[in-house]
Structures are given as C-alpha cells and as structure tokens.
Amino acid sequence: MIAMFDSGLGGLSVWQAVSAALPQWPITYLADQAFCPYGQRSREEIAERSVKICRWLAEEGASILVVACNTATTAAIADVRRELAIPVVGIEPAIKPAAAMSRTGRIAVLATEYTLASERVKTLLDAHAGDVEVLRRPGAGWVEQVEAGDLSSDATRELVRAAVAPLLEQNIDHIALGCTHYPFLAPLIRELTGDGIRLYDPAEAIARRVESLLDEQGLQPPAPRRHRFITTDPDASGMSQRLPALIGQPYVVESLRLQ
C-alpha cells in the first residue's frame, strides 16, 4: 500500500491527486492532529515525531511513503530516509515552475513561517529563482481554518484576503502554494486573484513521482483495495465529519495513540 502523513488534514490534497492517478492502489493516510500544527514546533520535535510516524506506517506494510507536509519534509525527510528502507517522497513549494513561467519577474510563495524560513526554501530560491523576485508570505491562521473544516466563512475569507491582497499590488503573476492545507482555500484565493495569476499546487507532481517509483520497483497493487484514514486525535469524529467536504466522500476514521 501507499502510505502518507501530514500534521493534519492538509495532506488530503495530496491524497486526492495520488488516488486519482493510481485508482487501484490502497492508501493509508495518517493525520497527526494531536501535534498539529507542526509550524509552531522545533525542528527536533518535528523530526522525532515524523520518524516515529513513518516507522509505524512502514511496519503496517507501506511499499512507499509520502511525507505530505511541507514543514515535515523541510524538518525531517533526511531523518526519515535514513530510518526507512522503502522509498520516501517529500513535498516542497513549486518555486521552480512558477519562477520559470513568470512574465513579470515577480512571484509569491504562500507557506507556513517555518517553511518560508527554512534552508530548503532558500536552496530552491538560489537554484531556480535567481532572476525572479520572490515574495514570501505566511498564510496566518489558514491551517487552523482548514483543520476546523471552515473553508468559506467570512472569517476565513478575511484571513485569505489579509495574506493575498497585499501581493496583488506587487505585479506578481504566479503563486506557489507551500503548504498542503492551502489548496483547500484556492477558491478563496482565486476570488481575489481572478484568472490573471496562476496557482501552483505540487500535488500532481507528487502523484507522478509516486507512480514512477512504483513502476521502477515493479510493484503491483494488493487486492482488495482498502483505503485507511487514521488520526492521532483520541476523538476521530472530527476528522470523520470533515472528510466529505475535503475529499468528497465519507470514510471510517481510526484513532491511533502514538506516544
């Protein structure tokens, strides 16, 4: 099976892309809601937690693992890859294509403060955005709104407006989304940007990478397919209630106590 995890529900945007690209494969998705949001934690905390989660998913039979969280990728993917023998796929803001396609020479990256300040983002900027000005902006409160299932209230609209509106005055033409929670707020972003600014969500690129790795290893999907959804929140009802709005259908959610 394919396994993936995120600090919470944001990685479901990656789940949608991988599930659509590989409809025969079962996916186990783990939301670490007991520790969400990761952006407020230290690198050491995130790395320790990520390794623990990934080790558990590997023991459950994962053939490939997706770290469907920009913050966890930034803080922990090297540790996870040292720990596991299976392929591990991380995620990062789509700065490369956004910079390459820019006509105005100005793009924006929306991400958590942790991701924006990370060495990983600095490396991406140095490698792919040398001739492009990149405006970095945190989506303050966005993760919490998605976790609460609040995708369209006036309060959520105001949080989106506060982050995006100032960027529209800077002649940007592309926005790279650097948090897997943020694609769920793309309709509100587009209300502000219209069609003149392109949003880059790396989820489809992740799906292509997963498919490529499965093909390289000659792996075949097990039968029957059975998706699993797991939360580290002792009360799984919150995640259960939010799945239909986020991925379009309900599923039973398991609760996992992971110390």
Q: Does the pTM exceed 0.95?
A: no
From the list 17, 77, 164, 179, the catalytic residue is 179
- Taking the C-alpha atoms of residue 126 and residue 105, their distance in angstroms, rounded to an integer, is 15
Task: State the amino acid at position 7 in one-letter form.
Answer: S
Active site residue 36: no
Helices within the chain (DSSP H only): 12-21, 43-59, 70-83, 95-101, 113-116, 119-128, 142-147, 154-168, 186-193, 203-216, 237-247
pLDDT at 258: 84
Alpha-carbon distance values, 214 to 64, 89, 107, 165 (Å): 8, 12, 33, 41
Per-residue pLDDT of the chain (259 residues; tens, 9 = 90+): 999 999 999 999 999 999 999 999 999 999 999 988 887 889 999 999 999 999 999 999 999 999 999 999 999 999 999 999 999 999 988 899 999 999 999 999 999 888 898 888 899 988 888 888 999 999 999 999 999 999 999 999 999 999 999 999 898 999 999 999 999 999 999 999 998 899 999 999 999 999 999 999 898 888 788 999 999 999 999 999 999 999 999 999 999 998 7
Question: CB under 8 Å to 185, separation ≥6 — which residues?
Answer: 139, 142, 145, 146, 151, 156, 160
Contact 47, 78 (CB under 8 A): no
Tokens 């520790």 belong to 35
Per-residue model confidence (pLDDT) at position 37: 87
Catalytic residue selected from 69, 89, 129, 134 = 69
For residue 235, what pLDDT is reported? Answer: 94
pLDDT on residue 10: 94
Tokens standing for residue 28: 């186990």
| Phi and psi angles of residue 193, each rounded to the nearest 5 degrees, phi first | -85, -25
